[in-house]
Chains A and B, each alone.
Chain A
């Protein structure tokens, strides 16, 4: 079953007098439960693709279907709801709200969705346990290490059972030990929750460990490789 379908996706920006083609007509499909690495040099269009798939940005042209639905046919209100319920984000750093503890940060998307606080809290605790932070759930971001903060962000991204989990350089700011823990965590989550994950990464080892890699260059798909 297809989780994400991208057809002839274009994204252009006006830069001074000229036009920058951040994405120049890319197409691909991601099946439900698949983990895909998007790799490429800086400026290749990785982050733009991630922002559009996350409905934070809109395409200039082309079609995107997430779980068979085109989020951009909706108004801002519905797009935000779609993002809240169906998409989880993990950014490189400064992912968390500094005035909320790990548990509250994890609960936030559930509260925004309007789910009962008690239910959301219970689920957040389960997710924090899954990422190994049960003892740190009342700690604030400033009291957590970089790796721990990323694990909280991963738990938070899963609270509403999203169709698609998007991660932008999730280990880019971590030392190799913590980075490797985060990589393992993504794979564990994919196996246990059958989540569809798209990870933008520069980390070659991590990318190589994932079953599929989409390589971008200058807004085009250079290669779309799958481990045999």
Chain B
């Protein structure tokens, strides 16, 4: 007969909970329970908060990436090779998968920007103003009162007295500030490859007018980028009706790899290939994954320290309560019952630690997400931090912590089996 579970429950209740009722017993038993519970709580709290805030950051970054960037790009297999303009190709690609929501052509290349005595290197992106909003969702990042359609227009520049009309461009806010320009000012695009003109080799110079600016919140995008119409970009780079590639927007961006594989089966014979956003941003995604893994490892260490404190606390309990353990054996407790008693203590300490840790973590995440906490928000941005609570992660952390807490109780559970009842009773008696 194993000791009735009632007896074990009775003992557990007293050792873990009721011992708080009396001040005289509190210092001995309750503190021995409180410390490991706090250890696990702190670990679970830190794990939950850090992973959720990191999850929020990663989602934020991905959301920026996926808003500003095509989910899939179709480019020539030969790097940098132009694709002749072909509307049928667009239709053909769109018909391959119902997942594809929108498709638009683009052109891209390096350019030198010149404004008076100031200059800067930038990336010139040529888009189809009518189609690009469907694939890139740039509108919400554009300065007020403009749409991408402004790129189809020619406008006079405010800082030039000549009343010529210039092709329009949209530049990133950071770049505009760098060059000391404003909306309405003119700007000269200078090619990086010299053109063989009348006077010999000379770079192409192309005046444009800044019709508006774009500010995305994405550092790499914001830095140096000029958006123009596909037609103007082709004119500048002296391409004849061609594209560098096609940009695709799909229903589920996380399925980009799978859809790209499907597209490649058809595109490869045509000398084209589909490049998912995960490939374009593989370095960033690897860094984010590595950072998440690193942080998880550090947090796991905190939980392990908490669990180690369970082992130490329970081992000390065996030393402190050896006489009680011996009495229980004399009353009919089996060795395995004593082991069970300690395994249950490990489980309950872990469980309590997880509940407290999750509750504290929940409160902390609520505050972080909804209120501006001065020392955190000033170092990040003026907004509260982004938070993403992944329920699977929380379940994994919770069960993992309880499992580790029970594992921490195995050593004391083995140790208590080896208790020499006769020796303990002989010493005491």
Residues of A at the B interface (CB closer than 8 Å) are 47, 51, 54, 56-57, 76-77, 80-81, 83-85, 89, 91-100, 104, 108-109, 111-115, 117, 140, 142, 156, 168-169
Q: What are 8 A-B contacts with C-beta separation under 8 Å?
A: A51-B425, A56-B330, A91-B330, A91-B429, A99-B14, A111-B6, A113-B332, A114-B6
Majority-rule SS of B interface residues: helix
Known A47-B429, A56-B421: A98·B324 in contact at CB below 8 Å? yes
Known A114-B4, A117-B6, A140-B22: A80·B333 in contact at CB below 8 Å? yes
- B265 to nearest A CB, angstroms? 66
Q: Decide if B2 touches A77 in the complex (CB within 8 Å).
A: yes
Q: Quick one: which of A51, A93, A112, A156 contacts B333, CB cutoff 8 A?
A: A112
Q: Decide if B1 touches A114 in the complex (CB within 8 Å).
A: yes
- B328 to nearest A CB, angstroms? 8
- B334 to nearest A CB, angstroms? 4
Q: Decide if A100 touches B14 in the complex (CB within 8 Å).
A: yes
Q: Decide if A112 touches B4 in the complex (CB within 8 Å).
A: yes
Q: Decide if B1 touches A113 in the complex (CB within 8 Å).
A: yes
- A169 to nearest B CB, angstroms? 7
Q: Quick one: which of A56, A94, A98, A111 contacts B7, CB cutoff 8 A?
A: A111
Q: Which B residues touch A83, using CB under 8 A?
A: 330-332
Q: Decide if A77 touches B426 in the complex (CB within 8 Å).
A: no
- A98 to nearest B CB, angstroms? 7
Residues of B at the A interface (CB closer than 8 Å) are 1-4, 6-7, 10, 14-15, 18-19, 22, 24-25, 29, 323-324, 327-337, 421-422, 425-426, 428-429
Q: Which A residues touch B24, using CB under 8 A?
A: 142
Interface contacts beyond A94-B428, A104-B14: sample of 12 additional A-B pairs, CB < 8 Å, sorted by A: A56-B422, A77-B336, A80-B332, A81-B1, A91-B428, A93-B429, A94-B323, A99-B29, A108-B328, A112-B332, A113-B332, A169-B429
Q: Which B residues touch A114, using CB under 8 A?
A: 1, 3-4, 6-7
Which residue of B is nearest A52, CB measured?
A: B422
Q: Decide if A76 touches B335 in the complex (CB within 8 Å).
A: yes
Known A54-B330, A112-B331: A92·B7 in contact at CB below 8 Å? no
- A152 to nearest B CB, angstroms? 12
Q: Decide if B330 touches A99 in the complex (CB within 8 Å).
A: no
Q: Which A residues touch B15, using CB under 8 A?
A: 99
- B426 to nearest A CB, angstroms? 7
Most chain A beta carbons < 10 A, residue from B6, B15, B333, B422: B6
Q: Which A residues touch B10, using CB under 8 A?
A: 104, 108, 111
Q: Quick one: which of A77, A85, A89, A142 contacts B330, CB cutoff 8 A?
A: A89
Which residue of B is nearest A142, CB measured?
A: B24
Most chain B beta carbons < 10 A, residue from A57, A112, A169: A112
- A42 to nearest B CB, angstroms? 11
- Cα separation A56 to B19 with both chains bound (whole Å): 29
Q: Which B residues touch A100, using CB under 8 A?
A: 14
Known A51-B422, A89-B330: A111·B14 in contact at CB below 8 Å? no
- Cα separation A5 to B7 with both chains bound (whole Å): 32
Q: Which A residues touch B327, using CB under 8 A?
A: 91, 94-97
- Cα separation A99 to B4 with both chains bound (whole Å): 19
Known A91-B425, A91-B428, A91-B429: A99·B18 in contact at CB below 8 Å? yes
- Cα separation A89 to B421 with both chains bound (whole Å): 13
- Cα separation A56 to B425 with both chains bound (whole Å): 10
- B246 to nearest A CB, angstroms? 74
Q: Decide if B429 touches A92 in the complex (CB within 8 Å).
A: yes
Q: Decide if B331 touches A99 in the complex (CB within 8 Å).
A: no
- Cα separation A51 to B426 with both chains bound (whole Å): 10
- Cα separation A100 to B13 with both chains bound (whole Å): 11
Q: Decide if B4 touches A57 in the complex (CB within 8 Å).
A: no
Q: Which A residues touch B19, using CB under 8 A?
A: 99
- A108 to nearest B CB, angstroms? 6
Q: Decide if B25 touches A85 in the complex (CB within 8 Å).
A: no
Known A47-B426, A100-B14, A113-B1: A108·B331 in contact at CB below 8 Å? yes
Most chain A beta carbons < 10 A, residue from B3, B15, B331, B335: B331
Q: Decide if A168 touches B429 in the complex (CB within 8 Å).
A: yes
- B112 to nearest A CB, angstroms? 81
Q: Decide if A93 touches B428 in the complex (CB within 8 Å).
A: yes
- A100 to nearest B CB, angstroms? 6
Q: Decide if B25 touches A99 in the complex (CB within 8 Å).
A: yes
Q: Which B residues touch A117, using CB under 8 A?
A: 6
- B293 to nearest A CB, angstroms? 44
- Cα separation A115 to B426 with both chains bound (whole Å): 30
- Cα separation A69 to B332 with both chains bound (whole Å): 17
- A13 to nearest B CB, angstroms? 10
- Cα separation A52 to B189 with both chains bound (whole Å): 101
